[in-house]
Amino acid sequence: MKMLENEIITTKNVHLYYGQKEALKGINLNFKEKGIHALIGPSGCGKSTYLRTLNRMNDMIDNVKITGDIQLNGQDVYDEKMDLVELRTRVGMVFQQPNPFPFSIYDNVTYGLKMAGVKDKNILDEAVETSLKKAAIWDEVKDDLKKNALALSGGQQQRICIARLLANSPEVILLDEPTSALDPISTDKVEEMLLTLKDDYTCIMVTHNMQQASRISDTTSFFLDGNLIESDTTKTMFLNPKEKQTIDYLSGKFG
């Protein structure tokens, strides 16, 4: 598939099966570089399943079959020569529940770098400060970097996880309902942080919160029953949706 200018991920005719059940039914969806791209739809519509195809997280599930074409900057994500560690570094993922490792803030953020063989303390120190600042949590933890990350609040843990991901210099950040387990204040902080990150990273976010999508995303795609129903700029999607199913969903008639 030919990549169009400024598109970082293209997906064409993507089908996914859990055994005999077809969970994705021929998805065609592309993402431009940078910005925040929201995936919305009712529970079980396929949006999180689709998100996980982009860095092959579905490979971890038994009896999954995926067909179609998914490319990252012109590279076939499902090529047998694709290095999965490299792929998941380039396309990092933030989950619904914060999942910091059970050690210090510093060691959480530097984990990926150390696994890649980086030993220079100056480089590691700089990465920690830079990543924590980008994740909007540096001022809260800078004097306590030896503290166990599990002792932090849920919102702080989520931002530590994002800092850990940023330290590895990803091209794309996948976010699977990153604020659904957080309180409103923590949610606001994560949203504010994402608005600063979107100038440098491509952020693709699954959310059940339509208000959140309308607040912070640049484009929105609506999934239903494994199908992509509609995709457009967020302004157009919320003010002038074209498909009846989208209109019904946005008006709260289901899901």
* Number of other CB atoms surrounding residue 207 within 10 Å: 22
Q: Which domains does the chain have, with CATH numbers?
A: 7-250 (3.40.50.300)
pLDDT of residue 253: 75
210 bridge partner residues: none
Which residue bears the tokens 């971890």?
A: 60
CA-derived radius of gyration, the chain: 18
Here the tokens at position 105 are: 């803030």
pLDDT of residue 255: 56
Say whether 148 sits in a helix, a strand or coil. strand
What burial letters (b/e) apply to 150-168, b meaning 16+ CB within 10 Å? eebeebbbbbbbbbbbbbb
Distances (CA, A) of 147 to 105, 111, 134, 199: 6, 15, 19, 31
pLDDT in single tens digits along all 255 residues of the chain: 333 458 999 999 999 999 999 999 999 999 999 999 999 999 999 999 999 999 999 988 999 999 999 999 999 999 999 999 999 999 999 999 999 999 999 999 999 999 999 999 999 999 999 999 999 999 999 999 999 999 999 999 999 999 999 999 999 999 999 999 899 999 999 999 999 999 999 999 999 999 999 999 999 999 999 999 999 999 999 999 999 999 999 988 765
Q: Nearest to residue 190, comparing CAs of 211, 218, 161, 164?
A: 161
Q: In what order do the strands lie in the sheet with 172-176?
A: 91-94, 172-176, 202-206, 35-40, 219-224, 227-233
For residue 240, the Cα-to-chain-centroid distance in whole angstroms is 26
Angle at 209 between CA 183 and CA 151, to 5 degrees: 25
**SS3 letters across 22-72:** EEEEEEEEEEECCEEEEEECCCCCCHHHHHHHCCCHHHHCCCEEEEEEEEE
Dmax over Cα atoms in the chain, in whole Å?
57
Burial tier of 172 (Cβ tally within 10 Å: 0-12, 13-18, 19+): buried
What burial letters (b/e) apply to 120-147, b meaning 16+ CB within 10 Å? eeeebeebbeebbebbbbbebbeeebee
pTM of the predicted protein model: 0.94
pLDDT of residue 187: 94
Cα–Cα distance between 49 and 1 in angstroms, integer?
22
pLDDT of residue 220: 98
pLDDT of residue 28: 98
